[in-house]
Amino acid sequence: MTASLFDEPPQPLRTPLLLEPGAMVLPGFAQDRAPALLQAVAGIAARAPFRHLVTPGGLRMSVAMTHCGTLGWVSDRSGYRYSPVDPHTGQPWPAMPGCFAELAHQAAAAAGYAAFAPDACLINRYAPGARMSLHQDRDEHDMAHPIVSVSLGLPASFLWGGAARADKARRIPLLHGDVVVWGGPVRLHFHGVQPLAEGTHPLAGACRINLTFRRAG
Ligand code: MD3
Ligand code: FE
């Protein structure tokens, strides 16, 4: 008997995918640049260390965060806001590396957003067990700008909800090198990340890194 196409195991869909109008998945868009991106993350973290923010309600977030760009997202008893200074060091956040800005610009353009120029990159680090509960990103100044997210390292199960917190959420796998562009009608949708499964990634080790590029100011 000869081998046929139908003997192949089913492959996951790895072509650009419109989750819904405004949410475009670009599978593997950042894969070739992942080593350079991870190296840049290490350089940023050497100057602005990863830290676990405490919510205004007093809860320590399981995800560790740092930032680069002219603005970074901070949290304290008075609430969430963007700040030009890292409260941990008293210094400005590290500059956004050229490879970051270039990737964000190219991914946004591929999803139909011309001239996206982020001024902030939030860097999330998930260890096994870390999660992000359903929330909206609403601290940016102008919601007309999209958000570009880049997943690196261990895979995650992303929770994709709707305009209301109670809307049913879908689970979307996000793998190393995947990029998603979120904007327009879904810019204020609820979303989250399920607890990260145990594992070790050849480049990133026992963690997942997520970059979100924003126009915050
Ligand atoms: C949909 N981060 O940092 S990235 C966050 O994987 C955040 O670390 C998640 O949610 C992570 O705020 C998800 C995907 C993402 C980012 C921003 C969005 C999806 C979004 C903003 C609006 C709608
Ligand atoms: Fe978010």
Per residue in 25-59, pLDDT (tens digit) is 999 999 999 999 999 999 999 999 999 999 888 99
Q: Is residue 8 domain-resident?
A: no
What pLDDT band is residue 15 in, cutting at 50, 70 and 90?
confident
Q: Is residue 163 domain-resident?
A: yes
- Average pLDDT taken over every residue of the chain: 94
Average pLDDT over residues 50-76: 94
Q: Is residue 1 domain-resident?
A: no
Fill in the amino acid letter for 56.
Answer: P
pLDDT at 164 over 90: yes
Best probe residue, ligand 1, of 55, 182, 186, 214 (max atoms within 8 Å of C-beta): 182
Q: Is residue 6 domain-resident?
A: no
pLDDT at 77 over 80: no
Q: Is residue 7 domain-resident?
A: no
pLDDT for position 78: 84
pLDDT for position 13: 61
Could you tell me the CATH number of the domain that includes residue 173?
2.60.120.590
Cα 187 to Cα 170: distance, rounded to the nearest angstrom? 16
Per residue in 127-145, pLDDT (tens digit) is 999 999 999 999 999 999 9
Q: Which atom of ligand 1 is nearest to the CA of 188?
A: 22
Total structural domains in the chain? 1
pLDDT for position 14: 75
Instruction: Identify which of 172, 201, 138, 152 has the alpha carbon closest to the alpha carbon of residue 18.
Output: 172
Cβ-based neighbours of 11, under 8 Å, separated by 6 or more: none
Domain encompassing residue 177: 17-214
Q: Is the pTM of this model over 0.85?
A: yes
Cα 79 to Cα 209: distance, rounded to the nearest angstrom? 25
Cα 103 to Cα 148: distance, rounded to the nearest angstrom? 9
Q: Is residue 50 domain-resident?
A: yes
pLDDT at 86 over 70: yes
What pLDDT band is residue 3 in, cutting at 50, 70 and 90?
low
- % of the chain at pLDDT higher than 90: 88
Average pLDDT over residues 62-75: 97
Average pLDDT over residues 194-212: 98
Pocket of ligand 1 (CB under 6 A): 122, 124, 132, 137, 147, 149, 180, 182, 186-187, 189, 191, 193, 210, 212
Q: Is residue 28 domain-resident?
A: yes
Residue written as token pair 């480049």: 203
Best probe residue, ligand 1, of 75, 116, 137 (max atoms within 8 Å of C-beta): 137
Average pLDDT over residues 82-111: 97
Q: Is residue 154 domain-resident?
A: yes
Average pLDDT over residues 162-184: 97
Cβ-based neighbours of 217, under 8 Å, separated by 6 or more: 70, 71, 82, 119, 120, 141
